[in-house]
Amino acid sequence: MTDNEDARASRGGSKLARRVMAAAVLMPAVLFLTWWGVLPFLALVVLLVVLMAHEWTSIVHERNRAQFILHSAAGVAGAVAGLVHGTAPMLWFAVLFAWGGSVWLTARSMKGFTVFHLTGIPYLVLPAFALVALRSGESCGFLAVLLLFVTVWSADTLAYFAGRAIGGPKFAPRISPNKTWSGFFGAVAGGALAAALLAAFSGLSVLPLMALGAMIGGWEQVGDLFESAAKRRFGVKDSGAIIPGHGGVLDRVDGLVAAAVLALVWGAWASGTLQNAACGILFWWDKT
């Protein structure tokens, strides 16, 4: 092994160690707040969405303070709307007002629009709404969100190791040069494995949740590409540096953003109502 290869291996090992240490601290905290109750979980989502708004507007809107306020307000309104399953029209009016204000400010800058200038607020609002709406499910909320978390975390982990160990053809080279098909299928396998294990320990049907876990695992990788495309468009490597080894909050939750929206849609379709979406995720195959 050459000196350069030794240096790269050392940097890779150091980064992995930081990732593991950060996960060892953050994951228990997130799980505790999720278990504690709906309101502590709402507070967690509000904190995350404000941090996400800060990173997004720093990347896309050149750290514009007004844009940060509008994006944060919209994200918080979306999270609170999830608490009442979207039955408060004034919260959606606030989201639309914030989105309109953001577009107006962008138009005033005379620097032109990109898709990222227009989609930042939906990118924050939809997952915030989905996460809180799922957790608010009376009898299934905690387990549904736990399933979502462990599936995404496992998918991310196996994608990372499969991509590094196997490599091979690139998944989306123009958007994220480091992503490979081996990593994508590692994510699918990781999602399936985590969902199967949780189902087995919880007394739920393994095969249906395993299939759902595989789908979520693959979809969270696709969701990761949106943030990667934004960073590439604006010449940014990481969305921030708040999480050692991971970068910013957006770098850590980019897959969860997509997975949460998919889970809510899937659960609402399976149960027939938004209010029962959490149970719809856990028992999606049972239409009786």
pLDDT in tens, 164-222: 899 889 988 888 888 899 999 999 999 999 999 999 999 999 999 999 999 999 999 98
In eight-state DSSP terms, residue 244 is T
pLDDT of residue 110: 61
Q: How does residue 273 score in pLDDT terms, banded at 50, 70 and 90?
A: very high
Q: Are 71 and 57 in contact (CB under 8 A)?
A: yes
Q: First and final CA of the chain: distance in angstroms? A: 61
Give percent of the chain with pLDDT exceeding 70: 90
Tokens of 238: 């990481």
Q: Residue ranges of the alpha helices (H) in 113-248?
A: 115-135, 141-166, 181-202, 206-233
User: C-alpha distances in angstroms, 210 versus 99, 135, 179, 254?
Assistant: 37, 21, 24, 22
3-state secondary structure of 252: helix
pLDDT on residue 239: 82
Tell me, rounded to whole angstroms, the distance of Cα 220 from its chain centroid.
7
φ, ψ for residue 238 (rounded to 5)? -125, 150
Inform me whether the pLDDT recorded for 35 exceeds 60: yes
Identify the pLDDT of residue 10: 45
**Minimum mean pLDDT range among 81-95, 103-117, 194-208:** 103-117
CB-based contact 144:137 (threshold 8 Å): yes
The two structure tokens encoding residue 245: 């080894």
CA-CA distance, 24 to 65, in Å (whole number)? 33
What are the helix and strand counts (H, E) for the chain?
A: 10, 2
Task: Give me the residues paired with residue 176 across strands.
Answer: 172
* Phi, psi of 86, deg, nearest 5: 75, 15
Q: Percentage of the chain surpassing pLDDT 90?
A: 68
